[in-house]
Amino acid sequence: MKLIVTGPRGKMGRLITQAAAKHSDIELIAGVGPSGRDYIGKDLGDVAMTGRQLGVSVVDNLESVIDSCDVIIDFSTKEMGMQVLESAVRHKKALVCGTTGFSPEEMAKFREAASSIPMLYAANTSKLVNIMNKLLEIVTTAVGDEADIEILEMHDQWKKDAPSGTSKEMGEIMAHAMGKELDDIAVYGRHGASPREKGTIGYHSLRAGNIPSSHTVYFGFMGERLEITHHSYNWECFARGAVDCGVFLADKAPGWYTIQDVLHLS
């Protein structure tokens, strides 16, 4: 599988490149970074700190290398994510996108792309988070209408979006388990003196230090509560999952794929 990684100097791009460089089925073709960076033109292995040179460069123009690849993995910014999507569609290349922070209109463009390319979008590529999502579905189906559901997510001080993409996916899964749409029941932050409204899902985002990622969903009852939590200690679980998604997508026909398909959880 011939792979291009965008943002290879970023936290995720670097780890994805490192994981891909060790994978026997993957040939890294190029990295793509923003123009003007001092690492453009340098060896991808040096830029992503893989411990050895890979013999391919980081370029600043995806269009110049895209025809040589089978799959692109994008964990960058929402602006770059949209550009990568357009190029992938134009050149009919499979795309794994793990970038978060897209608007509903932008997400709709990813869905549309699935009619012409193999497309996998995952706000969270950790295996355990996706198993947690299954647990959330089970609990919400059983007690969603009785419980006060609150989501607390924690990330590092540099994260650009809030609430996290993962917590939005979790909220959607729980809302659908209750036969509702998240937009109709989500409450972001909780200020003022009004009592909690039954049937809502509360969102709370904490940003501090270098916390990689924590998500806790609280199901509050009178006199007891259930908490389901995932903590990552670093970003490697997401990078491993991203590479598994890339390998999965390499021989697929155009269509919309999810990480649940990769993990056989659907």
Ligand X SMILES: O=C(O)C1=N[C@H](C(=O)O)C[C@H](O)C1
Ligand Y SMILES: NC(=O)C1=CN([C@@H]2O[C@H](COP(=O)(O)OP(=O)(O)OC[C@H]3O[C@@H](n4cnc5c(N)ncnc54)[C@H](OP(=O)(O)O)[C@@H]3O)[C@@H](O)[C@H]2O)C=CC1
Residue numbers at the binding site for ligand X (CB under 6 A): 100, 123-124, 155, 159, 164-166, 212-213
Footprint of ligand Y on this chain (CB under 6 A)? 6-7, 9-13, 32-34, 37, 75-77, 80, 98-101, 122-125, 165, 235, 238
CB of 8 to ligand Y, least distance (A): 7
CB of 94 to ligand Y, least distance (A): 16
Per the annotation, where are the binding residues for NADP(+)? 42
Between 50 and 213, name the residue whose CB sits nearer to ligand X: 213
Strand order in the sheet with 94-97: 58-59, 27-32, 2-6, 71-74, 94-97, 118-121, 255-257
| Catalytic position from the list 93, 155, 215, 230 | 155
CB of 115 to ligand X, least distance (A): 26
Residue showing the smallest CB distance to ligand Y in the complex:
10
Cβ contact 157:208 at 8 Å: yes
In the residue annotation, 22 being an active-site residue is answered as no
Backbone angles phi, psi at 109, to 5 degrees: -65, -35
| Catalytic position from the list 127, 159, 176, 252 | 159
In the residue annotation, 191 being an active-site residue is answered as no
The tokens describing 90, both together, are: 């134009």
Residue given tokens 């993995």 in the structure block: 73
Between 98 and 202, name the residue whose CB sits nearer to ligand X: 98
Per the annotation, where are the binding residues for NAD(+)? 7-12, 38, 98-100, 122-125
CB of 97 to ligand Y, least distance (A): 8
Per the annotation, where are the binding residues for (S)-2,3,4,5-tetrahydrodipicolinate? 165-166
Between 128 and 142, name the residue whose CB sits nearer to ligand Y: 128
Between 7 and 171, name the residue whose CB sits nearer to ligand Y: 7
Active site residues: 155, 159
